[in-house]
Amino acid sequence: MLGAFVSLGRIFLDVVFPRICCGCDERIIEPRRIVCSQCERTMRPLRLPLCPRCGAENSPAAAGEKCRSCPGGEIFFQAVRSFTVYEGPAVAILERLKYRARPQYADYLAPLMVRALKSLYRDVAFDAMIPVPLHRTRQRERGYNQAELIARSMTRATGIPLLANAIRRVRPTPSQTHLDRRARAKNVRDAFLVSDPALIAGKTLLMIDDVCTTCATLNECARVLRASGAEMVCGLTFCRASLD
Model confidence pLDDT, tens digit, residues 103-128: 999 999 999 999 999 999 999 999 99
Which CATH number do you get for residue 128?
Answer: 3.40.50.2020
80 with 35, same domain: the answer is no
Angle at 53 between CA 113 and CA 87, to 5 degrees: 45
Question: Does residue 5 carry a pLDDT above 70?
Answer: no
Span 7-14, average pLDDT: 40
Give the amino acid at 167. I
Alpha-carbon distance of 24 to 34, in angstroms, equals: 11
121 with 24, same domain: the answer is no
Give the amino acid at 139. Q
Give the tens place of pLDDT for each residue, 35-94: 998 999 999 999 999 999 999 998 877 767 889 899 989 999 999 999 999 999 999 999
1 with 92, same domain: the answer is no
Question: Which among 54, 63, 46, 60 is positioned nearest to 116, based on CA atoms?
Answer: 46
In the chain, the number of structural domains is 2
36 with 51, same domain: the answer is no
31 with 52, same domain: the answer is no
Sign of CA dihedral 96, 44, 116, 194: negative
133 with 209, same domain: the answer is yes
**DSSP SS3 for 83:** strand
27 with 120, same domain: the answer is no
Question: Does residue 8 carry a pLDDT above 50?
Answer: no
Is the separation of the CB atoms in 125 and 204 below 8 Å? yes
Mean pLDDT of the chain: 89
φ and ψ at residue 107, rounded to 5 degrees: -70, -20
For residue 147, give its domain range: 46-240
Give the tens place of pLDDT for each residue, 146-204: 999 999 999 999 999 999 999 999 998 877 877 888 889 988 999 999 999 999 999 99
36 with 59, same domain: the answer is no
Q: Which helix (H) or strand (E) holds 219?
A: helix 216-227
If one counts every other C-beta atom within 10 angstroms of the C-beta of residue 99, the result is: 10
Burial 164-194 (b: 16+ CB within 10 A, else e): bebbbbeeebeebeebebeebbebbeebbeb
Is the separation of the CB atoms in 223 and 76 below 8 Å? yes
Give bridge partners of residue 79 from the DSSP assignment.
234
Question: Which among 152, 138, 34, 43 is positioned nearest to 96, based on CA atoms?
Answer: 34
How buried is 224 (Cβ within 10 angstroms: 0-12 exposed, 13-18 middle, 19+ buried)?
A: buried
24 with 117, same domain: the answer is no
4 with 111, same domain: the answer is no
Alpha-carbon distance of 30 to 227, in angstroms, equals: 47
